[in-house]
Amino acid sequence: MIVLFRRFGVVLLLVGLAACQTLPSVNDRRLPNVVAIEDGSAARTAMNARVYDASIAMVTRRFYDRAYNGVDFGAEAASRRAEAVAQPDEAGFYRKLNETLRLLDDRHTVAVRPSVNRARAEANLTETRVFGFGIVTIVNPETQEQRHVLSTLRRDGPAAEAGVRIGWRIEAIDGEPFDPSVSYAGQPRLFRFVDHEGRAHELELEARALPREVGAAERRDDGVLVLRFASFDAASRDWMLGQLADARADPPRAVVVDLRGNIGGRIDATAAILGSFFSERIRFAYYNLGPVPRVARRTRSSSAPWTGPAAVLQSGMSGSAAEVFAAAFQENDRGPVVGQTSAGAVVGSVAYQLPDGGLLRVGVSEFRTGAGTVLEKVGVTPDVVITPTYEDLIRSRDVMLEAAVAAMLGVSSGADDANP
């Protein structure tokens, strides 16, 4: 997602639309209030109707594509209303509401049910109980066997303290097959891990309350600094600027910005982080917003930008602001973009608070790169295309990162051998 405005920015820039706006903008510094409603009740039906009508009205008014993807959106929404409103619970109602919104074929226009919206806000604003690792599910293309492999590890988490390592796979928890949809928090759990050599490790871990991990920094043995973060927001901006300030004090050999899986975020955070890689302000995006004419966005000035070697890593899950960031590197010859073609989900959006505590995000603006290129449904094609093989993944061989280092430093990565 690319979020265009927040709080006061909405009031100042959209004052001409204030009379039409029926839903408040989201305040990302406050937890949403979720309304408790009994399933199957008259109150549930009434709330469904209120949320559905407010959502459709806002989308109809604000959606950037006035042809609505060639769909008679008003008629379709009206014909689907009764079935959506009649849903007896939150999950069923939001499923039907999103079926209507998907007619627009825009991944930025979506409704988030209250319980999920609250959980996401809590994860960003408060401490949550975690084991301190992230996983990637790897599927064998021949047998369809799934392996759940640890891809990230928090140094301050229970797993790292117990000696768990990145690349281990989770085989079972409490003697049962691991289910990635289950949290397992709340009591000690017996994990069975298998390492790269096939050795089993049984360790008892208990989830612990930890604050959100904004980003992860690694200075490799070869002197390259790798900076990874999951979204462009105020916390990530401050973290990245702090990491780059430290880098200037103790310069690394090069910097890799790892945006694999980065979902995007705020345009002002994007401007600030990009600005820390350029000695001059550059134009990196254009957008249109209703009656507001085409607006250019430029990077923010940095008093001491990192001007040494740099590269961007991206995957097929890198979206929105992450794609704009990568495109700016390409268009300004700042450094290579390495990995897979990005998601192609680049539309300016605004988030609105729904009456039941849910969230409605609406794509309100076409977005273009600084050179005028449309990335929506196209994505950013990397300068160096690298797709890990199944063997690379199960051995935790990061061929994308090695290729990025090679592209910056002019050394052989061995990636060609891994990708015949």
From residue 116, give the alpha-carbon distance in Å to each of 34, 60, 77, 311. Answer: 10, 24, 24, 34
Higher pLDDT, 293 or 245: 245
Q: Are strands 254-258 and 224-229 parallel, antiparallel or unpaired?
A: parallel
CB of 130 closer than 8 Å to CB of 210: yes
For residues 327 and 333, what is the distance between their CA atoms, to the nearest angstrom?
A: 10
Higher pLDDT, 411 or 82: 82
The pLDDT value given to residue 197:
87
Q: What would the mean pLDDT of 180-192 be, rounded to a whole number?
A: 90
- What is the C-alpha R_g of the chain? 23
The pLDDT value given to residue 158:
95
Q: What would the mean pLDDT of 128-156 be, rounded to a whole number?
A: 86
pLDDT at 12 over 50: no
Q: Read off the pLDDT band of 290 (50, 70, 90).
A: low
Q: Read off the pLDDT band of 412 (50, 70, 90).
A: very low
Q: What would the mean pLDDT of 400-411 be, rounded to a whole number?
A: 89
Of the ranges 103-107, 343-347, 391-395, which one carries the lowest mean pLDDT score? Answer: 391-395
The pLDDT value given to residue 419:
36
CB of 265 closer than 8 Å to CB of 2: yes
pLDDT at 393 over 90: no
Q: Which amino acid is residue 378, in one-letter code?
A: V
Mean pLDDT of the chain: 88
pLDDT at 228 over 70: yes
Q: What would the mean pLDDT of 47-63 be, rounded to a whole number?
A: 96
Give per-residue pLDDT as tens, 15-45.
Answer: 222 233 468 888 777 889 999 999 999 999 9
Q: What would the mean pLDDT of 326-331 be, rounded to a whole number?
A: 98
CB of 67 closer than 8 Å to CB of 366: no
pLDDT at 180 over 90: no
**Cβ within 8 Å of residue 79, ≥6 positions away:** none
The pLDDT value given to residue 29:
77
From residue 120, give the alpha-carbon distance in Å to each of 91, 95, 117, 372. Answer: 16, 18, 5, 34
pLDDT at 6 over 60: no
The pLDDT value given to residue 321:
94
Q: What would the mean pLDDT of 201-215 be, rounded to a whole number?
A: 92
Q: Read off the pLDDT band of 8 (50, 70, 90).
A: very low
pLDDT at 417 over 60: no
The pLDDT value given to residue 420:
32
The pLDDT value given to residue 387:
87
The pLDDT value given to residue 392:
84
The pLDDT value given to residue 129:
83
Q: Tokens 């539309």 appear where?
A: 347
